[in-house]
Amino acid sequence: MARKIGFYAVLAYVVYGLFFYWYLFYFADTSLPFEYEGSKADPATFLNGRELMLTEEYSKVRNLLFFLSSPLEWLFYILILVLGLSKAFKRWALQSTKIKFVQTAIYLFWLSLFAFIATFPLKFISYSLSKSYHISVQTFASWIKDELIDFWINYGTMLIIVTVLYWLIHKSPKRWWLYSWLLSVPFTLFMMYLQPVMIDPLYNDFYPLKNKALETKILSLADKANIPAEHVFEVNMAKKTTALNAYVTGIGSNSRIVLWDTTLKRLNEKQILFIMAHEMGHYVKKHLYFGIAGYLLLSLAGLYIAAKAMNWAIARWGKDLKIPHVNDITSLPLFLMILSMLMFASSPLSNVVSRYQENQADQYAIKMTKDPADAISTFQELTRAGLSQVNPPLLVKIFRYDHPTMLDRISTIEDYEIQQKSKSNGEGP
């Protein structure tokens, strides 16, 4: 039975991959609806022929890699179970020490190492793709350094979580999911508080915005929005990428508004002010706190479903998966696989909410800056810099896009611009 499970899992992954290859390269239509042709949202009006070709090529491969990545995790966890590797990791841990915490650490290290090796090829392909299309300018040494930092941060975080999780499963087999969630609330908030000052600086250099005249204008916008901001932070990304970005991170006194230096170099002052107004819109609309609340609610539902699914799967296939009990550490791959599946399945819902919030932030920014021309040119430049599809395929939009498409964003501002002109003409003599 174990061989059958492994065989059908591999077969399902191959069929799934072939479907998305066919969908993205042969079936999906990314052309604009007729009514948008020739508008400012039409990429043919602001990209040259070569840029249009590169955008389509890059987006297709990048989207295929996205759809292959999560199911690859699921396949990895299934094979780890049916091939007996999870059981072997536990045996190696038991043979190494009698200290329970160290046993967990050893088991988790082997599982994390095998997962890193299994997913490395797709990550390297993604890195090589971005290099070949000049989105990334990061050296291999710098890239692998970031990957290793990721590995150890994830390992350290997971060691804490897994140790507490299996202690709770052992102590309360029926309600461990609820107690785990209750503990996850302060842990999540604590990690978000640490992110800007402890974790992010491990990857990049952060410093107050060097252009003090621009910072003064940004802080003036913040003052109008009643945002208690004292600094805008700049991050050195030019050594890694040509893409543009700005974001808000952290909570409480550690919250930061961050601009990539690539954004500062490529966009003019009015475009940067529009982006900053957008980020302030998130603050004013309290999107960060709604996001935290939504994440915690989804995690509660996810842990409950995961608990029920684990009990069912182990009762039915425990012998084939070589898992004796739910509270045995060998069940960890099953738990991680179920959580990954639930996150993937819930992504359309979370993306809808995120796109709504991003649209709200766009509307806030255009009302604050009253500069639709620079807002549109900002989105056009973001499209060019990231080789982003203006009108991505439906499944890509549903599962991948947590921001509105550039077609939606530019056409919304165009409508605003037309409305403003109509009002202005109507007010004339």
Segment 407-425, tens digit of pLDDT: 999 999 988 888 877 776 6
Helices (H), 23-99: 49-82, 85-96
Q: Quote the DSSP letter at residue 113.
A: H
> Contact, 235 vs 211, CB < 8 A?
no
The DSSP string of 277-321 is HHHHHHHHTTHHHHHHHHHHHHHHHHHHHHHHHHHHHHHHHHHHH
Residue stretches of the annotated binding site for Zn(2+): 278, 282, 358
pTM of the full structure: 0.89
Residue stretches of the annotated binding site: 278, 282, 358
429 confidence band (pLDDT: 50, 70, 90): very low
Predicted local distance difference test score (pLDDT) of residue 427: 52
Range of weakest confidence among 10-24, 31-45, 227-241, 332-346: 227-241
CA 317: distance to chain centroid? Answer: 33
Mean pLDDT on 123-143:
94
Range of weakest confidence among 174-183, 200-209, 355-364: 200-209
Mean pLDDT on 24-42:
91
Cα distances (angstroms) measured from residue 282 to each of 209, 257, 279: 20, 11, 5
Q: How far, in Å, CA of 272 to CA of 256, rounded?
A: 16
Mean pLDDT on 207-228:
84
Active site residues: 279, 362
Answer whether residue 189 shows pLDDT above 70.
yes
